[in-house]
Amino acid sequence: MIAAIVSRLDDWSRARERAALARAKQTLDQAVQAAIEADDPVRLRTIQTGYRRIAERACSAGHADIQLAARGSEAAMFYELGSAHLDRQALFECIERVRSVLASGILTLSAADIASLLRIMAHSYAEIADLDGDAAAFRHAIRAYEASLDRLDTPGQDTIEQLTRRNIRRCEIAVAAGEQAEGGCDRKTA
């Protein structure tokens, strides 16, 4: 009987900690966009540190899904930062973090979570393709996007053309034709 009571208390404590970690992550998620719009690097670093601490606490407490969610949100933060400020380094940081989350959580994440992460990667590659005039990066974007569709029963509403906010038609043509564009695609003539 005592063992059962202790077990219930442990379960209650674990549930409370899980809820607290989930709330903390949600608070950080809501703060990201404001920090990016304000171009506030100090606040962004604080948010990044917060995501890492949540992931560490969740890992030590055995909440694998919260850990992966925090790491995924950190990756998404880098995409938003890179997209807003045309920052290649932030976009590459996003891609590396997505790869890391997928590598460690492929057996834990839901199909929808995996698809969401792959979409973030696809958008990051598409932004890099547009910034650098790089057809190869756009091919990576298409592969990541198509892989995300494979994870879903119902494809999303966005299309390949919507993977980037700006015009990369020449990259699309090069990919569709299966050609290696010499020197990538030129943004000025796209």
| Residue 47 shares a structural domain with residue 135 | no
pTM of the model: 0.74
Please indicate, yes or no, if residue 104 is contained in any of the structural domains.
Answer: no
Task: Using pLDDT thresholds of 50, 70 and 90, give the confidence band for residue 152.
Answer: low
Cα separation, 11 vs 29, in Å, equals 27
| Residue 166 shares a structural domain with residue 88 | no
Q: What is the pLDDT of residues 166-189, one digit of tens each?
A: 434 545 544 555 544 444 444 433
Cα separation, 57 vs 55, in Å, equals 6
| Residue 20 shares a structural domain with residue 88 | yes
| Residue 61 shares a structural domain with residue 4 | yes
| Residue 3 shares a structural domain with residue 81 | yes
Q: What is the pLDDT of residues 1-43, one digit of tens each?
A: 555 544 554 666 788 899 999 999 999 999 988 888 888 888 8
At residue 1, the pLDDT reads 58
At residue 88, the pLDDT reads 92
If one compares 180 and 114, the residue with the highest pLDDT of the two is 114
- What is the percent of the chain where pLDDT is above 90? 34
| Residue 88 shares a structural domain with residue 128 | no
**Over 90: is that where the pLDDT of 71 sits?**
yes
**Over 70: is that where the pLDDT of 106 sits?**
yes
**Residue closest to 139 by CA, chosen among 96, 80, 180:** 180
| Residue 120 shares a structural domain with residue 73 | no
At residue 75, the pLDDT reads 95
- Domain residue limits at 28: 1-93
Look at the chain and report how many structural domains it folds into: 2
| Residue 68 shares a structural domain with residue 4 | yes
- Where is average pLDDT lowest: 15-19, 53-57, 63-67, 145-149? 145-149
| Residue 172 shares a structural domain with residue 139 | yes
| Residue 89 shares a structural domain with residue 1 | yes
Cα separation, 31 vs 25, in Å, equals 10
Biggest alpha carbon distance in the chain?
A: 76
At residue 96, the pLDDT reads 96
Please indicate, yes or no, if residue 105 is contained in any of the structural domains.
Answer: no
